[in-house]
Amino acid sequence: MREPVFNFNKDNNMATCTLKKGNKYYTGHAICHADDLDMMTEKTGYEIAYKRAKINMLRDIKNELKIKKEAYVHLHSLMSKSKSFNPESYENKTLRRQIRLINDDLATTKEILATEEQILREYITEKDKFYKRIRANREKGKSN
């Protein structure tokens, strides 16, 4: 995976992150909420956009693994229906091993995806709490 490319559009307050893996590009966007314009920073937008691009990439990897698994399972099903099918053959053992490896990769990818989605939710929640504390302190300072 190459280094992420970031862009910030001040006209619409949108941060964009683009990741490249192989010949595919994955993009994440973050638009500053109207209530947060007083706190807007490019760094926060970049962080959220990066996390979203990463999630998009993981979703694509998961979908590719599912397609690959379905193809291998279908192939194995076709092979097993053959009259000359040998369950102890090198080809059968190799194909079954590949299916197991894809299942492992799929399970790992799903775990990582769930973790990344949770990290993004927590990041946004913590950011909102932080902004509320700053606004409360500002209001306290104005009233004194």
59-68 pLDDT tens trace: 999 999 999 9
- Single pTM value for the model: 0.87
> Across residues 37-57, what is the average pLDDT?
92
Q: Is pLDDT at 89 greater than 90 in this prediction?
A: yes
- pLDDT tens digits along 118-128: 999 999 999 99
Rounded mean pLDDT of the chain?
93
> Across residues 109-130, what is the average pLDDT?
96
Q: Are 14 and 28 in contact (CB under 8 A)?
A: no
Residue 30: burial class (beta carbons within 10 Å; 0-12, 13-18, 19+): buried
> Across residues 69-92, what is the average pLDDT?
95
Q: Are 116 and 58 in contact (CB under 8 A)?
A: yes
Q: Quote the percentage of the chain above a pLDDT of 90.
A: 80
Distance CA 75, CA 71 (A): 6
Structure tokens belonging to residue 75: 């192939």
Residue whose token pair is 């638009």 = 31
Distance CA 46, CA 118 (A): 18
> Across residues 126-138, what is the average pLDDT?
90
Alpha helices in 18-89 (DSSP H): 42-80
